[in-house]
Every structure is written in C-alpha cells, then in structure tokens.
Amino acid sequence: MVKITFVEHDGQETEVDARPGLSLMKNAVAANVPGVLAECGGNCACGTCRIYFDAEWARLMPAPRESEREMLDYWNEEGEGVRLSCQVPVVEDMAGMVLRLPESQN
Ligand code: FES
C-alpha cells in the first residue's frame, strides 16, 4: 500500500492507504475522501475528481489524454499542477504524496 494524503480546501486531511494500479480517484472514493465526488465513475466525463499537486510529483503523472485536457479546459483548470484523479494510476513512488482538492467539485 502507498500512503497518500488528500487535503480538503478547508485543510481537513485524509490519509489513504492506496492500492497501486488503481486510480487515485478509486482509492480516494474507497477511503471516503469527501472532496472527490467522481460522479461519472472514472470515465473522464464529469471532472468532479480534480486534484492539485506540487511540481515535485509531476514526474509520476502520466501525460494526460486529449479527453482529460478537454475536461480540464471545461472546468477552466489551467497549468501543470492539476489532473483528473480518475486518470492517474497509483504507483509505489507516490508514497508520501500530498494532493489538494478544490473548494468545490461542482
Ligand atoms: S470521475 Fe468523472 S472525470 Fe474523473
């Protein structure tokens, strides 16, 4: 398992024992992280699973597909430090990673 911390907009933290190979979103939902809604169930169709991360973790993020880029555009999310958590698989090197969540996923 890989320890990953999700931080709500209000500072509330949830530490998750994440399973490698599953997406960040699936791990967050399984651990009842409140700020990850994931309304489409991981189909890259809702954008309610957005996460923010610091640059030090960028090397562990696979390049986003066009569909993910379009969804982030829809939410006016720009820049390097944002992803849809349903599109990012957990890997062992993510141990200790801290992810921040938006004020609202809607
Ligand atoms: S769960 Fe819907 S886009 Fe990620």
Is residue 35 lining ligand 1, measured as CB closer than 6 Å? no
Q: Mind listing the pLDDT tens digit for each residue in 6-33?
A: 999 999 999 999 999 999 999 999 999 9
What are the pLDDT digits (tens) for 39-86? 999 999 999 999 999 999 999 999 999 999 999 999 999 888 999 999
- Mutating to test ligand 1, I would choose from 44, 65, 68 the residue with most ligand atoms within 8 A of its C-beta, which is 44
Q: Is 44 in the pocket of ligand 1 (CB under 6 A)?
A: yes
Q: How far apart are the first and last CA of the chain?
A: 30
Domains plus CATH for the chain? 2-100 (3.10.20.30)
- Threshold 0.85, pTM exceeds: yes
Our answer on whether the CB atom of 86 is closer than 6 Å to any ligand 1 atom is yes
* Long-range contacts (CB closer than 8 Å, 24 or more residues apart) made by 59-62: 60/91, 60/93, 60/94, 60/97, 61/88, 62/87, 62/88, 62/89
Give the whole-angstrom CA distance, residue 25 versus residue 43. Answer: 11
